[in-house]
Amino acid sequence: MFINCFNLSDLDPHIIDKRAEQGGLDVVISHMTYADMITQYPVLREQFAYIFSKRGCACHMDGNLVYEKKWRDSAHHIHILKIVRLFQEFISRFLYPKSGRFVHNNGSYYTLSIIGLDATDAMKNEFRSRHIDIFHRLVFTLNKYIHDSLLFDKVVIDIHDICIYVYPTGFCEKQMIHFLSQRYCPKIIVRNVAYNEACFTTCFKF
């Protein structure tokens, strides 16, 4: 069975109502929460059979939650909390322009922002140009903790620009494959979909 996976981060809002004409099942996935996805793109509920949010840790069908995985369900959630505390201790030792909300927990993973999630674009640019070495030291510190604690196969640190996502191993986009293969068939094929100049990509492909 073919699964046409649309990555919302690559989706052009002007053609969001376009669907795959190649046959198969259309699904969309994003790192955002379901509420944020629907608020920004209400048409998603009409255009996609399944809406995967929070990096695949939750799935909605016809507006109903049909799957959810929370980081506290993991046997390694204590290590996640330790990493968050280590992050907070680290940034408290340095002086540089900061905003607010350094840590965000959406239930499935943590977002750690060294400058704060409320930072303006100007603040982010200043940090990148003047203080990026602090971020590199932070990444080194967290990775060292994971290595020294033998957590490299249990906890993931995913770096995006000057933010870090922390979650248990397996709490990622591949959950979509597992969920759909259980519902339909053991062997499914995920394929990219493209329309005109817009590119719809997925992080994995069978």
Using one digit for the tens of pLDDT, what is the confidence trace for 53-107? 888 889 999 889 998 888 777 777 888 899 999 999 999 999 998 998 899 987 7
What pLDDT is stored for residue 83 in this prediction? 93
Query: Is residue 85 assigned to a domain?
Result: yes
**Whether the predicted pLDDT of 22 surpasses 60:** no
> 188: domain CATH number?
3.40.50.1000
Residues 86 and 155 in one domain: yes
Residue 11 clears pLDDT 70, i.e. is over it: no
- Position 193 scores a pLDDT of 44
Task: Label residue 114 exposed, middle or buried (CB < 10 Å: 0-12, 13-18, 19+).
Answer: buried
Residue 191 pLDDT > 90, yes or no?
no
Check whether residue 98 and residue 25 sit in a common domain.
no
Same domain, 91 and 157: yes
189 within a domain of the structure (yes/no): yes
Which has more pLDDT, 110 or 19?
110
pLDDT, residue 185, reads 62
Inside any domain, residue 138? yes
Is the same domain home to 83 and 146?
A: yes
Determine the structural domain holding residue 196 and report its residue range: 2-69+173-200
Q: Per-residue pLDDT averaged across 183-190, rounded?
A: 61
User: What does the block give as tokens for 74?
Assistant: 């993991």
For the record, the structure tokens of 17 come out as 């109502």
- Distance CA(75)–CA(73), nearest Å, equals 7
What's the gap between Cα 8 and its chain centre?
11
| Residue 95 shares a structural domain with residue 178 | no
pLDDT of residue 77: 81
Residue 205 falls within a domain, yes or no? no
Number of structural domains (the chain) is 2
- Distance from CA of residue 80 to its chain's centroid? 16
**C-alpha span between 113 and 103 (Å, rounded):** 6
pLDDT value at residue 176: 78
